[in-house]
């Protein structure tokens, strides 16, 4: 049975130790009991973009903290692709959270590879274990924006910065794409049988939190308490984030159609250079990828991530020809990619 939050459950992993931040103390926890009975039908997400806003705050790549969740068995088939493509353009902003040590990855990523020591099983508890550490490392980093993605996402930093610049990092902002057609309906199991309804942004498409909002999440998230919150409500990490933000803090999810997961028909995605995240997967055993022409065949590039990367960054050394989309200035993204397999 699929998880209502778009992911299967996982085993418990080790919680990260408490950390001391330099930020002001958050408000006290809500008295609401976090024990819930959840119902909901997983469907293809339909994003509803908010009306365009002008820039509120000028951001640079240094303001971003991009957390990628992966596991040991996907270091080669998935993570290598990301390192060769979008991470090579955003290496200083990206941190990979995995569940085991990898000498080759350590040489390539250094301190940006974080071994959580969480379970490698694909379970609710292991997902929450990694998210707990992602949260703590972000709080300690002092950066303005936290963005979580999976190891099957392509992230375009230019559109991401443009989107987040429409909000102040001190505001309460939770932005992403839901994977349900309606809010989760949850019943508190202790005390009065109060129904709670909340939206959550699926981790499979990626989501972002402002620092101002993340600080308010501390009572239910810091020092490993995120795992305890997830256990109380028996939901995976992305649903737990939505529960804390919407049900406990009363902050509404900002829905954006610029985030994409494998749960939708990716062949319908257009205007590639303006999308924040992309993904790939299968739907009923059929290939589900963005529909782009490029220098690589489907056999050579089954995810289409390499073709997308060459369209966006034709100066990439391993791109075989001049492949370019008409696009606006991509200020804030610098550096050159390493050829496939080459360590930086």
CA–CA separation, 327 and 329 (whole Å): 7
CA–CA separation, 112 and 108 (whole Å): 9
238, 271, 301, 331: the catalytic one is 238
- Please give the span between the terminal C-alpha atoms of the chain, in angstroms, as a whole number: 42
Residue 337 among the catalytic residues: no
Contact (Cβ atoms closer than 8 angstroms) between residue 320 and residue 307: no
What is the distance of C-alpha 68 from the center of its chain? 7
Q: Please give the structure tokens belonging to residue 238.
A: 């992305």
Q: Which helix (H) or strand (E) holds 209?
A: strand 207-210
CA–CA separation, 307 and 333 (whole Å): 19
Contact (Cβ atoms closer than 8 angstroms) between residue 97 and residue 67: yes
Pairing of strands 174-176, 207-210: antiparallel
Catalytic residues, by residue number, are 238
């Amino acid at each position: 049975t699929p998880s209502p939050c778009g992911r299967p459950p996982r085993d418990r992993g080790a919680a990260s130790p408490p950390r001391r931040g330099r930020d002001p103390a958050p408000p006290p926890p809500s008295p609401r009991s976090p024990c819930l009975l959840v119902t909901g039908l997983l469907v293809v997400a339909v994003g509803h973009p908010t009306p365009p806003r002008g820039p509120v705050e000028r951001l640079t790549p240094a303001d971003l903290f991009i957390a990628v969740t992966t596991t040991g068995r996907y270091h080669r088939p998935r993570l290598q692709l990301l390192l060769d493509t979008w991470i090579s353009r955003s290496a200083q902003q990206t941190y990979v959270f995995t569940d085991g040590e990898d000498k080759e990855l350590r040489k390539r990523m250094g301190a940006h590879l974080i071994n959580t020591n969480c379970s490698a099983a694909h379970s609710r508890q292991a997902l929450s274990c990694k998210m707990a550490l992602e949260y703590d490392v972000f709080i300690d980093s002092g950066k303005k924006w936290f963005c979580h993605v999976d190891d099957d996402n392509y992230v375009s930093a230019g559109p991401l910065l443009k989107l987040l610049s429409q909000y102040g990092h001190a505001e309460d902002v939770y932005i992403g794409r839901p994977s349900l057609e309606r809010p989760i309906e949850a019943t508190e199991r202790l005390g009065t049988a109060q129904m709670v309804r909340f939206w959550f942004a699926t981790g499979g498409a990626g989501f972002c939190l402002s620092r101002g909002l993340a600080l308010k999440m501390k009572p239910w998230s810091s020092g490993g308490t995120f795992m305890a919150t997830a256990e109380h409500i028996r939901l995976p990490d992305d649903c737990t984030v939505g529960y804390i933000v919407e049900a406990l803090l009363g902050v509404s999810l900002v829905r954006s159609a610029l985030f994409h997961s494998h749960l939708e028909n990716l062949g319908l995605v257009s205007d590639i250079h303006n999308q924040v995240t992309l993904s790939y997967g299968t739907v009923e055993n059929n290939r589900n990828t963005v529909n782009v022409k490029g220098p690589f065949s489907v056999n050579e590039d089954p995810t289409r991530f390499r073709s997308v990367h060459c369209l966006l960054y034709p100066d990439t050394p391993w791109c075989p020809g001049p492949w370019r989309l008409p696009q606006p200035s991509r200020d804030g993204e610098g550096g050159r990619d390493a050829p496939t397999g080459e360590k930086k």
